[in-house]
């Protein structure tokens, strides 16, 4: 009974406005009902209470976008930062909005500004890792994911990013293996021997890289708590295990 559930959550928040579980659940109910305008202040509060929650951050940015308010939201957080240059949550929310709006350059600029304010904040490096992964800058993504872990090893997201990096490299090695296997089957003599050695090396490399992707996903799954995140990790694991199976 969704109506009664929402009423109960609102009563709970009337008693304790800082009750994060009630706030998050109500925010998600409103969001799932596509009541974006009403969900925004709830999601904003949820983000303040849990800035580490990637799902809240994404839903807030999407709610702004669906409400046609993304420009207003960007202006709001830019204003908050001007008034309080040490407002870490404002920086992080602004980064999320820029990323949702495909403004990676602005997002990186904002992250670099935050880095000066909070150089040890793990979300500085997590956001950089995610942006660089999206740009297929795998070395930069790997570096920043590892920096995130060095700041806070309890997060699951950097392990998912590392898994994506190793899966991408492993897929390239797998495709190289297939190509070399095809060439070796058509070659003769010394050329065939050389190609077979290269094929075996590519296969071994693919197995190693995909194995590292699997290990990072298993680590991420052990650290994740949201069902949505765990479901995503399991889907990724299935794809990686499928590729590993083809190499055995």
Residue-wise pLDDT tens digits, 115-164? 999 999 999 999 999 999 999 999 999 999 999 999 999 999 999 999 99
What mean pLDDT is predicted for residues 42-55? Answer: 77
Residue with tokens 């928040």: 13
> Residue 163: helix, strand or coil by DSSP?
helix
Q: What is the mean pLDDT of the chain?
A: 91
More confident residue, 57 or 94: 94
Check: CB of residue 169 under 8 Å from CB of residue 138: yes
Closest CA to 22 of 35, 68, 30, 59: 30
């Amino acid at each position: 009974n969704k109506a009664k559930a929402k009423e109960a959550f609102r009563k709970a928040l009337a008693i304790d406005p800082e009750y994060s579980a009630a706030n998050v659940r109500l925010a998600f109910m409103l969001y799932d009902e596509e009541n974006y305008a009403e969900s925004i202040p709830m999601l904003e509060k949820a983000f303040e209470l849990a800035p580490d929650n990637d799902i809240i951050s994404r839903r807030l940015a999407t709610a702004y976008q669906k409400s046609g308010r993304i420009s207003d939201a960007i202006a709001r957080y830019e204003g908050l930062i001007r008034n309080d240059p040490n407002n870490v949550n404002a920086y992080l929310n602004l980064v999320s909005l820029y990323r949702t709006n495909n403004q990676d350059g602005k997002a990186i600029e904002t992250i670099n500004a935050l880095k000066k304010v909070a150089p040890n904040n793990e979300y500085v490096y997590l956001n950089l890792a995610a942006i660089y992964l999206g740009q297929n800058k795998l070395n930069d993504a790997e570096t920043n994911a590892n920096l995130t872990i060095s700041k806070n090893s309890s997060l699951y997201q950097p392990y998912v990013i590392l898994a994506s990096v190793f899966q991408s490299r492993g897929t390239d090695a797998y495709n190289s293996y297939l190509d070399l296997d095809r060439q070796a089957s058509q070659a003769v003599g010394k050329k065939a021997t050389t190609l077979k050695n290269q094929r075996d090396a590519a296969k071994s490399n693919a197995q190693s890289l995909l194995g590292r992707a699997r290990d990072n996903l298993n680590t991420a799954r052990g650290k994740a708590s949201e069902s949505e995140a765990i479901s995503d990790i399991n889907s990724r694991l299935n794809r990686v295990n499928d590729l590993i199976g083809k190499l055995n």
